[in-house]
């Protein structure tokens, strides 16, 4: 699972992206932060977050991918084939090309509450002008968010009638 988010400073016209990839047990695999000096607007930053996340997934050899973003514009544009008449059109086109390299790929909207890890990476990236990846070991500034994310995921599973431990489905809950 890939979560992506962006941060944007309109006064300076700069932004950043954050991405985190977790495996089927919701364990951390890799995260990436990218700082960009020149970004036109917040939707462009969100589109760049998608592109950078997809590239990160390709770099580690993912062939199947579920993408989550809290930006409904990005999600809906990609669900409709990536066609856009915005300043981000070329970035969407690149995402569509990258998309085709996967055997299975989908995108869905998630609430900001479930995207805090990617959000935190983007926030720190714009403050520190980061351009880096973390493999296997997450950076310390997202540890609390990662733990909280797993707990929220487990609560969500229980709400849907499943018991789980650290994101691993076990048995249907007894009501």
Q: How many residues does the chain have?
A: 175
pTM of the model: 0.86
Euclidean distance between CA atoms 26 and 16, whole angstroms: 24
Distance of CA 137 to the CA centre of its chain: 17
Instruction: Indicate the pLDDT class of residue 107, thresholds 50, 70 and 90.
Output: very high
Query: CA dist 3 to 10, 50, 59, 160, 172, Å?
Result: 23, 9, 16, 21, 27
Q: 2-172: what fold? A: Nucleotidyltransferase; domain 5 (3.30.420)
Average confidence score pLDDT of the chain: 88
- Mean pLDDT value of segment 93-106: 97
Segment 4-28 shows an average pLDDT of 95
Q: In which region does residue 82 sit, left (phi positive, over 0), alpha (psi from -120 to 50) or beta (all else)? A: left
Domain locations along the chain: 2-172
- The string of pLDDT tens digits covering residues 66-75 is 999 999 999 9
User: Is the per-residue pLDDT at 174 higher than 60?
Assistant: no
| b (16+ CB within 10 A) / e for 146-167 | beebbeebbeebeeeeeebeeb
Which range (17-31, 40-54, 157-171) has the least confidence?
157-171
């Amino acid at each position: 699972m890939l979560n992506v988010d962006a941060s944007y400073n309109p006064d300076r016209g700069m932004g950043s992206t954050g991405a985190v990839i977790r495996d089927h047990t919701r364990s951390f695999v890799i995260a990436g932060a990218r700082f960009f000096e020149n970004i036109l607007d917040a939707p462009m930053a969100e589109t760049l977050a998608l592109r950078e996340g997809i590239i990160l997934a390709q770099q580690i050899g993912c062939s199947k991918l579920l993408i989550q973003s809290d930006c409904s514009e990005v999600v809906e544009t990609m669900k409709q084939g990536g066609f856009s008449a915005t300043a981000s059109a070329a970035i969407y086109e690149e995402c569509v090309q990258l998309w085709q390299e996967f055997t299975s790929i989908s995108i869905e909207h998630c609430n900001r509450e479930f995207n805090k890890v990617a959000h935190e990476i983007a926030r720190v990236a714009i403050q520190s002008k980061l351009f880096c990846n973390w493999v296997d070991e997450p950076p310390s500034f997202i540890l609390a968010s990662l733990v909280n994310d797993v707990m929220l995921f487990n609560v969500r599973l229980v709400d849907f009638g499943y018991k789980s431990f650290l994101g691993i489905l076990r048995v249907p809950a007894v009501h």
